[in-house]
Structure 1
């Protein structure tokens, strides 16, 4: 049986022990346990938009709650390539868990122990969705740069759809790799730069404005306009010019990213969520696969692989490797 993960105060490196109220070090510094998670940071940080969106749309991306969707299941196992039978009793670190869409897959389909970190108070949505697995789930609201764990302890580390939303993407990759034990695998997927045209689209044209709006204002604007945008993008896809024209309509990529078979109401909800996710983050820094591969190699990884993984109606840009 794997040993439990050693917890440390990320600011002083002193050991942390669980108490009735949270995590306590020998200097009586207390990190409270609230809403199902240990709180290493305050809510007021650059990810507050993610906390807002995932608590508001807590069930939208959870396969268990969506009768027509296995998108999270398919993406997780396609991207990681992991065999769920081989994960029994492994200590897995998830960074950037949001409402827990991939936490649910790990906990429902494997017997692994999951240590899940998010910088925002989306940990509350994750606990709402996955708290019934408390014997194998530990949630932490913490920064990727200051996680409350001793380095080099985890059997697997994954971070899906997150690194581009952090202030220093290279440092983020290094922080993930530091948590893996020798022989452990680290997997990330991310927004990719495919060429100069990557940022010639509505998302990057409007983001300098929309990321400064309040969450409530942005959501109102999307709710008000989402129906005509769905109709327009669907029409342009139907007549064969959507690949070009739809880049300039400020809505998520319906054809390339959303699950198939959604009802009209489900499609609307996914579009509102994913469009909010496009325009609200403080940081959006897509990366070249070759660049992330280089960072993996520089951070002590071997057997590094990077490329495109396609599954169902979607595409992921992935880099993975083994810790030396």
Structure 2
């Protein structure tokens, strides 16, 4: 049986009063509802401004369509969940971006989804998914460190492609675990450290400069140079010098779905290259270290390793909350 979950004050965990325009706490805090989305943070001055830009500009780039099912494939491979086991369950999605995985849950399962992002990407998610939600989507804007929901409320918790972009990776993991019920599962994926060579890469060599640039300027530079970079990348792979592509200031094009047409592939390349260079934080982790974080914060690890699928390879840790 699905239990109703209500928003609470993210700081005090006390119940909130609601009208058509906002949620109100007993302590006087006001959390406005803007464009039908409750806002528990002000994203105008926080570290997620680059994500606000990218997900509203590229709002549909990674949403599955009839030509590719990249998000669906990645979701079910990473979680190892089956659609039927999610029927009627309460699921928490942390860091939903434009809603690529939100769409998968709403279309492929009958689960009830609470989904949030720290950035204004929630605007894109709402535009992409509100019409198909059928009342099962509860979308809000909040910090991963102050989620406005009761602890121990969810049957499943997941967070994909987000943790490395938060200020404190372990505190983010700790926060997610406490929202799972005892016996419920938490699944995360993240950028892995594979060895000393991980940061010998154009991304990490250039990020000290690019993350301080105007996001619009950075995006313009990428758009102007993406065609030549793609051509060089493809040439190096063709002549079996793919190892050298790590020194090109462009995303690894081999991670982009091969089913995309030329224009869609270019769009995806711009998005992912901007995503490489613009975030304020980029902290890859060793899989064993993330597994240890789970154990330290009350979750028994059931899987820690790489998951391979037609959508690519992800570093994944799964755990079940014990305490």
Q: TM-score, normalised by structure 1?
A: 0.97
Alignment-derived partner of residue 71 in structure 1: 70
Check conservation: 1:260, 1:313, Cα contact below 8 A: no
Shift of 1:36: 3.2
Q: How does 1:44-123 map to 2 (within 5 A)?
A: 44-64=45-65, 67-123=66-122
User: How far is 1:25 from its partner?
Assistant: 2.2
Deviations 1:247-274, CA, capped at 9 Å, x for gaps:
000000111x111121110111000000
Partner of 1:157: 157
Contact 2:185 2:320 in 1 (8 A): yes
Map 1:216-295 to 2 at 5 A: 216-242=216-242, 244-255=243-254, 257-295=255-293
The 1:303/1:285 distance shift into structure 2, 3 A limit, reads closer
Tell me the equivalent position of 1:311: 309
Deviation at 1:313, TM superposition (A): 4.9
Partner of 1:298: 296
Secondary structure, in 3 states, of the residue corresponding to 1:63? Answer: coil
**8 Å contact 2:301–2:317 — kept in the other structure?**
no
Local SS of the residue matching 2:13: coil
Match of 2:207 in 1: 207
Corresponding residue for 2:148? 148
Question: Is contact 2:291-2:301 (8 Å) kept?
Answer: no
Please report how far the alpha carbon of residue 287 of structure 1 lies from its aligned counterpart in structure 2 after TM superposition. Answer: 0.2
- Residue 9 (str. 1) matches residue 9 (str. 2): yes
Counterpart secondary structure, 2:61? coil
The answer (yes or no) to whether the contact 2:31–2:39 under 8 Å persists in 1 is: yes
Give the Cα–Cα distance (whole angstroms) in 2 for the partners of residues 227 and 96 of structure 1: 30
Q: Answer yes or no: is the 8 Å Cα contact 1:36–1:124 preserved in 2.
A: no
Could you tell me how far apart the structure 2 residues matched to 1:161 and 1:31 are? 27
- State the partner residue of 2:193: 193
Q: Is the 8 A contact 1:7 1:17 kept in 2?
A: no
How far is 1:291 from its partner? 0.2
Q: CA offsets, 1:82-138, max 9 Å, x none?
A: 111111111100001000000000011100010001000100000000011150001
RMSD between aligned residues: 1.1
CA contact (8 A) 2:71 2:104 kept: yes
Structure 2: give runs of 5+ residues left out of the alignment.
none
Q: Secondary structure at the match of 1:259?
A: coil
Q: Secondary structure at the match of 1:308?
A: strand
Scaled by the length of structure 2, what TM-score is found? 0.97
Give yes or no for contact 2:73–2:311 (8 Å, CA) kept in 1: no
Once the two structures are superposed, what CA deviation does each residue of 1:168-187 show, in whole Å capped at 9, x if it has no partner? 00000000001000110000
CA distance in 1 between partners of 2:17 and 2:155 (Å): 22
